[in-house]
């Protein structure tokens, strides 16, 4: 799901969602993040939870990461951060709150990491809340982290040290990307103009170790993004209760869209209206579903084969390339028709003018 609005509304929606989930499952297992993005989230959650008299005593929590600090470090640990902004304000059971250690001395690091992963495996992760680093790190999975990474110690990048104003802090414990993706519901929260370039890279690039957040696109997650963060990615005509997108910045911008539903009441509407766009969406791996009002509803596999033959014969007179193009989609149509003939993945009979529009936009 993709939620886009002003930051206050975004935080309201996240908090409302989380409270609903806790009411449905009082022993919810949650993985929390830290950082400036999360402070308004936790403040609003505390406010709403108190007003609603929400019982938090059965909630199980984990944190994504933790700095490795020296004993006299002036830097605030994430344990302190979470207690200050969330846990100390509500009736969380501190026995059910789990942190990674903030000191690596005098502990067996391997055992500590193994125990943390075992706890996550035991309780599961119902909800995982993530922020986005300026260099596209999630948790502290810095550039170079792979999709198979698990909980470990990692050296922080110079950009992260600078962005977080760290003094004499060079490494941290972090949950890995593979562990994060085990979450039943994963949420990426991105607010503020500072994150605009990071969210743009997230949507434009295929999954890569150069931008670790892109690995989240291998599955469905929930995006909670405010206008300031997304404004360098999209141009908007107006902002009201809904956001109206004026245009894509370039053809690669469609990469993040996974599923597209097109309504076409007449055989040639989809092609003449957006034939070139359909082709581009398909090239970027999107799942295109076209709902025909009249031609294909209720057709069985044999009837679809007959239509396929007649239409391909007609189109072959226009251009052999387009015949091959239709052939590719017809295989998808026939496979999907087993479940529901009302939703198909391809255009039907195309007039010559419609065909020219497609050819000109390829």
Strands 287-292 and 343-344, sheet pairing: antiparallel
Largest CA distance in the chain: 80
Average pLDDT over residues 113-133: 97
Cα 257 from Cα 237, distance rounded (Å): 20
Going by pLDDT thresholds of 50, 70 and 90, the confidence category of residue 227 is: confident
Confidence (pLDDT) at 190: 95
Helix 78-85 to helix 38-52 angle (10° resolution) is 40
Higher-confidence residue: 334 or 96? 96
In order of 3, 22, 179, 248, 254, the CA distances from 203 in angstroms are: 15, 30, 22, 12, 8
pLDDT over threshold 60, residue 188: yes
Helix 352-361 to helix 269-283 angle (10° resolution) is 30
8 Å CB contact between 112 and 175:
no
Confidence (pLDDT) at 220: 87
Q: Is 345 left (phi over 0), alpha (psi -120 to 50) or beta?
A: alpha
Going by pLDDT thresholds of 50, 70 and 90, the confidence category of residue 337 is: very low
What pLDDT, in 10s, does the model give residues 252-308? 444 445 566 666 655 555 555 566 666 666 665 666 666 554 444 444 556 555 555
Average pLDDT over residues 182-210: 92
Going by pLDDT thresholds of 50, 70 and 90, the confidence category of residue 70 is: confident
Q: Return mean pLDDT, the chain.
A: 76
Higher-confidence residue: 348 or 128? 128
Confidence (pLDDT) at 279: 65
Confidence (pLDDT) at 194: 92
Going by pLDDT thresholds of 50, 70 and 90, the confidence category of residue 242 is: very low
8 Å CB contact between 40 and 77:
no
Confidence (pLDDT) at 317: 39
pLDDT over threshold 80, residue 110: yes
Rounded to an integer, what is the distance from CA 99 to the centroid of its chain?
Answer: 25
Confidence (pLDDT) at 268: 54
Average pLDDT over residues 305-317: 47
Where would I find the beta strands (DSSP E) of the chain? 2-5, 29-32, 60-63, 65-67, 97-98, 127-130, 152-155, 171-174, 185-190, 222-226, 235-239, 243-247, 259-264, 287-292, 343-344
8 Å CB contact between 289 and 262:
yes
Give percent of the chain above pLDDT 70: 63
DSSP-assigned letter for residue 101: -
Confidence (pLDDT) at 112: 92
8 Å CB contact between 10 and 41:
no
Helix 320-336 to helix 352-361 angle (10° resolution) is 100
pLDDT over threshold 70, residue 322: no
Confidence (pLDDT) at 4: 78
Strands 171-174 and 152-155, sheet pairing: antiparallel
8 Å CB contact between 107 and 68:
no
8 Å CB contact between 184 and 124:
yes
Strands 185-190 and 222-226, sheet pairing: parallel
Q: List residues with catalytic annotation.
A: 65, 135, 137, 142
Average pLDDT over residues 295-322: 47
pLDDT over threshold 50, residue 332: no
Going by pLDDT thresholds of 50, 70 and 90, the confidence category of residue 2 is: confident
Q: State phi, psi for 35 to the nearest 5 degrees.
A: 110, 170
Q: State phi, psi for 318 to the nearest 5 degrees.
A: -90, -50
Going by pLDDT thresholds of 50, 70 and 90, the confidence category of residue 49 is: very high
Q: Where are the domains of the chain?
A: 2-247, 257-361
Average pLDDT over residues 51-64: 97
pLDDT over threshold 60, residue 357: no
Cα 128 from Cα 178, distance rounded (Å): 13
Going by pLDDT thresholds of 50, 70 and 90, the confidence category of residue 324 is: very low
57 closest CA partner among 18, 21, 15, 91: 91
Confidence (pLDDT) at 354: 37
Cα 101 from Cα 172, distance rounded (Å): 9
8 Å CB contact between 178 and 150:
yes
Highest mean pLDDT among 99-113, 223-237, 306-320: 99-113
Q: Which CATH architecture has domain 2-247?
A: 3-Layer(aba) Sandwich (3.40)
pLDDT over threshold 70, residue 360: no
Confidence (pLDDT) at 252: 43
């Amino acid at each position: 799901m993709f939620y886009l609005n002003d930051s206050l509304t975004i935080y309201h929606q996240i908090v409302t969602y989380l409270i609903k989930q806790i009411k449905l499952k009082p022993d919810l297992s949650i993985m929390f993040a830290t950082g400036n993005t999360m402070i308004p989230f936790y403040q609003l959650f505390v406010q709403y939870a108190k007003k609603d008299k929400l019982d938090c005593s059965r909630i199980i929590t984990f944190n994504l990461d933790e700095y490795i600090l020296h004993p006299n470090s002036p830097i605030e640990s994430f344990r302190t951060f979470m207690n200050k902004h969330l846990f100390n304000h509500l009736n969380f059971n501190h026995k059910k709150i789990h942190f990674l250690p903030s000191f690596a001395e005098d502990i067996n690091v391997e055992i500590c990491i193994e125990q943390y992963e075992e706890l996550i495996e035991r309780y599961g992760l119902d909800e995982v809340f993530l922020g986005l680093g300026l260099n596209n790190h999630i948790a502290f999975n810095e550039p170079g982290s792979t999709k198979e990474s698990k909980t470990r110690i990692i050296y922080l990048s110079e950009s992260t040290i600078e962005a977080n104003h760290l003094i004499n802090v060079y490494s941290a414990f972090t949950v890995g990307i593979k562990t994060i993706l085990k979450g039943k519901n994963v949420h990426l929260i991105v607010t503020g103009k500072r994150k605009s370039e990071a969210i743009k890279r997230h949507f434009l690039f295929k999954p890569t170790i150069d931008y670790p957040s892109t690995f989240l696109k291998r599955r469905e997650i929930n995006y909670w993004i405010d206008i300031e963060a997304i404004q360098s990615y999209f141009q908007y005509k107006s902002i009201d209760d809904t956001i109206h997108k004026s245009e894509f910045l370039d053809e690669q911008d469609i990469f993040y869209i996974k599923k597209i539903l097109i309504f076409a009441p007449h055989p040639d509407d989809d092609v003449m209206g957006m034939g070139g766009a359909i082709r581009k969406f398909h090239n970027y791996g999107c799942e295109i579903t076209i709902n025909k009002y009249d031609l294909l509803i209720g057709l069985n596999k044999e009837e679809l084969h007959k239509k396929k033959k007649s239409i391909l014969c007609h189109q072959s007179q226009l251009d052999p390339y387009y015949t091959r193009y239709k052939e590719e989609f017809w295989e998808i149509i026939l496979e999907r028709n087993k479940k529901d003939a009302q939703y198909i993945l391809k255009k039907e009979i195309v007039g010559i003018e419609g065909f020219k529009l497609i050819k000109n936009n390829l």
